[in-house]
Amino acid sequence: MKLAVGLRDTSDEYYRFLAQLGVHYAKFNLWNELMSEPGACGVLKADALRNLQETLKPYEIQTYVFLLPQGPNTQDWHARFGRSPEADREIENVCETIRVCGDCGIPVVEWTWSIPDVFGRIGAAPVARGGATSPRFDYYLIKDKRPPYAVDMSAEEMWANIIYFMERIVPVAEQAGLQLAMHHHDPPTEVLAGEARILCNFEGMKRMIEEVDSPVNGFNICQGTLTEQAGPAPGGILAVIRYFGERGKINHCHFRNVKGSVPVYDEAFIDDGDVDMYEAMKVYKETGYRHCFIPDHCPGMTGDPNRRATVAYAVAYIRALLHVVGEL
């Protein structure tokens, strides 16, 4: 099991900061620097990725997870609306990006599938411990709101579009020798801004891996989002982790915590939410998980505008748990 941090800064100072924390793996997007077309479109540039990898070598940091572009008008945006010549061109760009990742030794490609995406959260509310700022979601405040690019889309349409996409990219990932890690829906409401959220619960997640059965088709298990779900499964979040872990379907992990669940919840410090993170770590260990844990959505702390302290706090907590279960 590995510890990773997201590369949100490409400075020497930031790389030294990560090295000093004992971080040896990175999740990255850096779309402005790495994609072949503006707006996070086109194909991942192999030469730019290799340059990044060479830059990280002196800090003993390896690129481990690449997040495919997400959000309006990025790499696979039109594919989410259904089949079209433009969607097919985008899917081929995704396939070529996966090939580049495989050629450059990236073990995991993360992806998302939604039009409103993470719409609706209050991004910097003083709701975490001690008044630290962290996202809050209140469905009652946004249930009748929607971003300008939103569309009404039924569950049947969503399933048809995502299955078509997976049927195209999964064989390419198999050939490239890497794993796919799909981030299930956040916020995990049944409907958001007109879109049916087909991956908002355990049953939807289970169906996704059954629709395109492949050893590379799996999840980025976001523990925060699992906790946010309105009753993830009998036995709670640990049962969900165990179910997908035993089947080898966890290829990445956002190791974070929250308080509450749909329709209202607050994101929290890693040690201050509803999930016993030690018990969760033991389940990953018991089920043979081998990929990365990444601290995610760390609260904003007083006097820490760059969120270095809060990242360091989460990293230290994860390192301690990895040590306790014999993985560090």
pLDDT at 106 over 90: yes
Other beta carbons less than 10 A from residue 45's beta carbon: 17
pLDDT at 209 over 90: yes
Average pLDDT, the chain: 96
Could you tell me the residue ranges of all domains in the chain? 2-324
Confidence of residue 123 (pLDDT cuts 50, 70, 90): confident
Contacts by 26-31, CB closer than 8 A, 24 or more apart: 26/56, 26/61, 26/62, 26/63, 26/64, 26/65, 27/64, 27/65, 27/66, 27/67, 27/110, 27/252, 27/292, 27/294, 28/52, 28/63, 28/65, 28/66, 28/67, 29/66, 29/67, 29/69, 31/69, 31/74
pLDDT over 90, % of the chain: 95
Q: Does the bond joining 187 to the residue before it have cis omega, within 30 degrees of 0?
A: yes
Question: Strand (E) positions, the chain?
Answer: 2-7, 25-28, 35-37, 41-44, 62-67, 108-111, 121-125, 134-138, 179-183, 191-192, 195-196, 217-222, 250-254, 257-261, 264-268, 292-294
Any idea what DSSP says for residue 308?
H
pLDDT at 56 over 70: yes
Please give the average per-residue pLDDT across 121-131, as a whole number: 93
Burial of 6 (0-12, 13-18, 19+ CB in 10 A): middle
pLDDT of residue 8: 84
Residue 281 to residues 95, 217, 226, 278, 328, Cα–Cα distance (Å)? 33, 22, 15, 5, 13
pTM of the model: 0.96
pLDDT of residue 92: 98
Confidence of residue 235 (pLDDT cuts 50, 70, 90): confident
Question: What are 300's strand-pairing partners?
Answer: 133
Contact predicate 249/257, CB 8 Å = no
pLDDT per position as a tens digit, 146-189: 999 999 999 999 999 999 999 999 999 999 999 999 999 999 99
pLDDT at 326 over 80: yes
Confidence of residue 328 (pLDDT cuts 50, 70, 90): confident
pLDDT over 70, % of the chain: 99
pLDDT per position as a tens digit, 247-293: 999 999 999 999 999 999 999 999 999 999 999 999 999 999 999 99
pLDDT of residue 234: 65
pLDDT at 218 over 90: yes
pLDDT of residue 247: 98
Contact predicate 223/255, CB 8 Å = yes
Q: Tell me the three state secondary structure of residue 122.
A: strand
Contact predicate 66/106, CB 8 Å = yes
Q: What is the DSSP string of 186-217?
A: SS--SEETTEE-TTSSHHHHHHHHHHS--TTE
- The CATH class that applies to domain 2-324 reads alpha beta
Q: Tell me the three state secondary structure of residue 40.
A: coil
- The structure tokens listed for 222 are 């976001």
Residue 78 to residues 8, 114, 195, 267, 304, Cα–Cα distance (Å)? 26, 11, 15, 31, 38
pLDDT-wise least confident of 14-18, 110-114, 120-124, 285-289: 120-124
Confidence of residue 243 (pLDDT cuts 50, 70, 90): very high
pLDDT at 307 over 70: yes
pLDDT per position as a tens digit, 30-50: 999 999 999 999 999 999 999
pLDDT of residue 202: 94
- The structure tokens listed for 197 are 């959220």
The Cα 46–Cα 66 span in angstroms is: 13
- The structure tokens listed for 246 are 């035993």
- The structure tokens listed for 199 are 């991956």
pLDDT of residue 10: 92
pLDDT at 77 over 80: yes
- The structure tokens listed for 185 are 């829906």
pLDDT of residue 232: 57
Tokens 């809060």 correspond to: 310
